[in-house]
Amino acid sequence: MPSSIDAAKFFLAQANEDAGDLVSNLKLQKLVYYAQGFHLAVFGSPLFDEKIEAWTHGPVVPSVYHHYKHHGSGSIPFPTDFDAEVFSAEQIDLLNEVQQIYGQYSAWRLREMTHEEAPWKNNFKAGALNLEIPKDEMQVFFKDLVK
């Protein structure tokens, strides 16, 4: 099974820095969240095992956040160690679709979108830290989007 870092590297490898595609940690978090949600909906299983939490700025995969936090709010460079072979062909297709649909949006727009969605809204509590967004709630929400 791929890790959340593998999923993050997939999205970073898709970015075209020369064309102005800059991926910050905030944007990366949302892309990885959408990948997990749609994977749960389409395949009935998680793309990766790591938990997703409801933070102030939307869903966050803590392991991905901590891996890239040294970039601050700036763009994260192309990964030199990305290995697409950790994904099945079906997973690559799903990740490409997530990139095509959600990768066009700014980090801030993605943040706003996730704030309107049930998985984050139902699990974020101001002042509470590290509240997990249950995978089963994500699966139910994203299944409705896939229909």
**pLDDT given for residue 45 in this prediction:** 98
- The CA distance from 100 to 87, in Å, is 18
**pLDDT given for residue 15 in this prediction:** 81
- Paired with 105 in beta bridges are none
Question: Any idea where the domains of the chain sit in the sequence?
Answer: 4-146
Q: What angle do CA 3, 50, 20 make, to 5 degrees?
A: 60
pTM to 2 decimals? 0.95
- The CA distance from 112 to 83, in Å, is 31
**pLDDT given for residue 126 in this prediction:** 86
